[in-house]
Structure 1
Amino acid sequence: MSEFQIYLETGLHHVLDIDAYDHVLFLIALTVPYTFKDWKRLLLLVSIFTIGHTLALILSVFGIVMIKASLVEFLIPITILVTAAFHLFTAGKTAKSDNINVVGFITLFFGLIHGLGFSNYFKSILPGNPSEKLVPLLEFALGIEIAQLIVVLAALIVSYIVQTFFRFNKRDYALVVSAFVIGVVIPMILGSEIWK
């Protein structure tokens, strides 16, 4: 197996790991107000996340930014909560009226925070000095991007099925899914190590 394939698969597994579902929750919360016709906006948002995640890993690998793991683990569900709450309160509005700046900033912030959360593990699996870690880091980022697109595609398919065959309107679907994500993420926030 080539190094490229190893780091690509590590990126894929990082997002698609069922035991680390925070990433998937964020993508579901992010995707909920959109449909297939909004694919350019979704691609932009997914890429913004990947850029933030990769930037955080680069800053960490080069020792520029260090952050306490318990704080990162607390901030990850907070960003999911903010995204889901934003879409809960803006449910029923068309995606074109959404302010891409707000959602884009939240997405970039989540990418930065999540990248910092993964940075210690990433540094431990990569041997050598920081400059030797740049290419594997980009290969890993490609895996993340592909995995995120898989999750977004699955979320869009579910949304289409629910809205088309079960006759859920877009607003109700956004309300239910956003509320579900909030219900899952609140226990993550309350169970955070930061409270101990």
Structure 2
Amino acid sequence: MSSSVFTTYLQLGFHHIFNLQAYDHLVFLLALCAPYVLQDWRRVVALVTSFTVGHSITLALATLNVVGYSPTLIETLIPVTIVLTCLLNLGRAGKAGTRPVERREATPIILTLPNLLAAVFGLIHGLGFSSYLRELLGRQSRPVLELLSFNLGVELGQLLIVGFILLLGFVLLRIFNVARRDWLLVTTGAALGIALTLLVG
């Protein structure tokens, strides 16, 4: 039974993030990955994992009714996280180079500013996931296995999405010779436009 429950919630987590109804989270991932190329995949995995850690915390706390929140406020804050990410990208694009600054070897990659911001933004997005998961769980009081497998499913979905984004960037940059700055500006501009539409909608 446990194996069945694990697989079921793994699939639910994967499909919850890997579908067009979760377009706000997909747009956030696009903005998050925009400054990076395929060879930066380790940095991107670290970013996505930082985001997952953040949303796993609030997802668990909200699902278990440890913390309360305003759904309306979260619906506003999610596009705000996208806007802030896009503004950081645009600031980077305005510099001479668009490649992320190399981290010092003494600093663990998970503690760099982009990763910490991704984790903080993940805290907000986790509250957005929680209403969906609570509907699935019903009256269960200790859904530990369900929370774990759902989060793993979300993580797998996110990694697949960013893999597509990095591969698309690779094709455009290497095969079609699109300038890296142009790729960053177009993807960031698209994400920013959608986020602003969500804010004013």
Same fold (TM over 0.5): yes
The one-character-per-residue Cα deviations of 1:149-182 (angstroms, maximum 9, x if unpaired) are 1011000011011111221111121011111111
The one-character-per-residue Cα deviations of 1:92-126 (angstroms, maximum 9, x if unpaired) are 33123489733223311221111111212212211
- Which blocks of at least 5 consecutive residues in structure 2 are unaligned? 104-108
Partner of 2:92: 90
Q: Contact 1:8–1:143 at 8 Å: present in 2 too?
A: yes
Alpha-carbon RMSD: 1.8
From 147, 153, 163, the counterpart of 1:137: 147
Q: Partners in 1 of 2:83 and 2:189 — Cα distance?
A: 10
Q: Matched residues, percent identical?
A: 36
Q: Partners in 2 of 1:33 and 1:97 — Cα distance?
A: 13
From 7, 22, 25, the counterpart of 2:24: 22
Q: Partners in 1 of 2:163 and 2:24 — Cα distance?
A: 17
- Which blocks of at least 5 consecutive residues in structure 1 are unaligned? 192-196
Give how far 1:127 is off: 4.2
Q: Contact 2:35–2:100 at 8 Å: present in 1 too?
A: yes
Q: Contact 1:61–1:130 at 8 Å: present in 2 too?
A: no
Q: Partners in 2 of 1:75 and 1:105 — Cα distance?
A: 17
Aligned residues: 190
Q: Partners in 2 of 1:89 and 1:40 — Cα distance?
A: 23
Q: Contact 2:31–2:85 at 8 Å: present in 1 too?
A: yes
Q: Contact 2:17–2:158 at 8 Å: present in 1 too?
A: yes
Give how far 1:67 is off: 0.6
Map residues 47-86 of structure 1 onto 2, 5 A cutoff: 47-86=49-88
SS class of match (1:5): helix
Give how far 1:24 is off: 0.9
SS class of match (1:66): coil
SS class of match (1:65): coil
| Alignment TM-score, normalising by the size of structure 1 | 0.90
Q: Partners in 1 of 2:132 and 2:152 — Cα distance?
A: 18
Q: Partners in 1 of 2:167 and 2:47 — Cα distance?
A: 18
| Alignment TM-score, normalising by the size of structure 2 | 0.88
The one-character-per-residue Cα deviations of 1:55-112 (angstroms, maximum 9, x if unpaired) are 0111113322111000000000110111111111102331234897332233112211
Alignment partner of 1:116 is 2:127: yes
Partner of 1:154: 164
